[in-house]
Amino acid sequence: MANDNLTAILYGINDIRLEQTPIEEPDQDEVLIQMACVGICGSDVHYLVNGRIGDFVVRKPMIIGHESSGVVVKLGKNVKNLKVGDRVAIEPGVSCRTCKFCKEGRYNLCKDMIFCATPPVHGNLRRFYKHAADFCFKLPDNVTLAEGALLEPLSVGVHACKRANIGISSKVLILGAGPIGLLSLLVAKAMGASRVVITDLSQSRLDLAKKLGADATLLVKKEDAESHILKRIIELVGEEPDKTIDACGAQSMIRLAILATRSGGVAVLVGMGAPEVQIPLMNALVREVDIRGVFRYANDYADALNLLATEKIDVKPLITHNYKLEDTVQAFETSKSGQADVVKVMIHCN
């Protein structure tokens, strides 16, 4: 292994530079990883374009990237769960492991979470990166490193579907057919949903949803009346959906998530939009529609990996573009272009 550790660093708005950084030594409970694949997430693009997401502000140069996989090249002295040469998916958030939330198994809520590429924490779009061994998941031979990187958004989908309590015969509505909505669709089907209807503003994304197994799709326009979309959703689902997942974050869709869900059903909110939105809260209250938030994932990586290893779902069609680490700037240009054919852009680090 040479000393080449080419690294993608976000310096500020629309300013990503490729520079060499030192290869770090793994601590006793860590492994050094030769990075393989890093997917570009909407949040990475958001930091690039706006320099912040809410209160998380890029104040000093930050290494970008968090949807990732690689090959273990060095072990810290206490590491027993991995070997050199293991191909792993990297769960990018390392929690404290001792607080109330961590002990309850809801470690995504840990206040001391260290999460890749959430400022000020560095991400892992580089040739070599060290990570806590217990947050690395060995990939079986039939799961590729690119799929390993997709475990990150897939775990969001798994967490959302678990929070929705999707099961046999669930009728599910998904709002938004970006990577998160599409992956939630795959998981909902794998969990037994009998019918999944998905909406988006983009016909090409809906076409992909159809290929991935959506039972029906609904193209919406921003100017469509709420009552019109609601009527179409109920026609396409066949009745009011039991579970709705908002994977878009627009106020109009969050409102629909509540209004469309049947009385006693669950509306899960994954999409992140404006910090405050106007919603029909009384409607949810009198119909006992549970509104549940989703923040990333907790104990979902293994389940997401299991779905891939047992070939219950195929996430590969989501990867529409591939770039080398050297071409990171171009990769981000593609990701933020909004071109109809772009879904998931994957960067290959070695």
Q: Which does 177 bind (CB under 5 to 8 A by kind): ligand NAD, Zn ion, none?
A: ligand NAD
Q: How far is the CB of 153 from ligand NAD (least distance, A)?
A: 7
Site for Zn ion in 101-130 (CB under 5 A): 102, 110
Q: How far is the CB of 288 from ligand NAD (least distance, A)?
A: 23
The answer to whether 96 contacts Zn ion (rule: CB under 5 A) is: yes
**Single residue of 18, 99, 109, 114 touching Zn ion by CB under 5 A:** 99
How would DSSP label each residue in 7-73?
A: EEEEEETTEEEEEE-PPPPP-TTEEEEEEEEEE--HHHHHHHHHSEETTEE--S-EE---EEEEEEE
The answer to whether 95 contacts Zn ion (rule: CB under 5 A) is: yes
Task: Give the residue with the Cβ less far from ligand NAD, 106 or 138.
Answer: 106
CA distances from 41 to 46, 180, 335 (A): 9, 10, 9
Q: Which residues bind ligand NAD (CB under 6 A)?
A: 42, 156, 176-181, 199-202, 205, 220, 222, 247-250, 252-253, 270-272, 294-296
Task: Give the residue with the Cβ less far from ligand NAD, 57 or 84.
Answer: 57
The CA distance from 113 to 119, in Å, is 12
Side chain identity, residue 6: L
- Tell me the window of 89-97, 241-249, 285-293, 310-318 that interacts with Zn ion (CB under 5 A): 89-97
The CA distance from 52 to 43, in Å, is 9
How would DSSP label each residue in 198-218?
A: EEES-HHHHHHHHHTT-SEEE
Collapsing DSSP to helix, strand or coil, 328 comes out as helix
Q: How far is the CB of 75 from ligand NAD (least distance, A)?
A: 31
What is the dihedral sign for C-alpha 263, 265, 271, 274? Answer: positive
Q: How far is the CB of 256 from ligand NAD (least distance, A)?
A: 8
Nearby residues of 52 by Cβ (< 8 Å), 6 or more positions away: 58, 119
Q: How far is the CB of 250 from ligand NAD (least distance, A)?
A: 4
Where does this chain bind Zn ion (CB under 5 A)? 95-96, 99, 102, 110
